[in-house]
Amino acid sequence: MDIAKTLDLRHYDSYIESPSRPGKTAQEISGSISIDANPFAPPANADAITAAYPSNSVEVFYYRQGGDAGTILKIVTITYTNSNKKDLLKVEVS
């Protein structure tokens, strides 16, 4: 397999050799990347979680500081494909 044909050729020169896979399969990134270790975890200062159900296929969870009516720190929205809630469509964190 010609790896050059499987990569987006416009960016091929920015790809580098990966230590774990032969061929140019990784793109080098400079600078820092901030990633929350677990974006679904409650913030350390949250002391309440409230929930809303705007439709049969959507659940919204609010992590709060200051009790049930406190400041919202994080929102997790779970959307299912339908009201039986067996299959996820998407999960959003804001």
In tens, the pLDDT along 19-67 reads 665 655 555 556 665 655 677 788 889 999 999 999 999 999 999 999 9
Put simply, whether the predicted model's pTM sits higher than 0.75 gets the answer no
The distance from CA 42 to its chain's CA centroid, rounded to whole angstroms, is: 14
User: For residues 45 and 53, what is the distance between their CA atoms, to the nearest angstrom?
Assistant: 24
pLDDT above 50 (res 4):
no
The distance from CA 11 to its chain's CA centroid, rounded to whole angstroms, is: 25
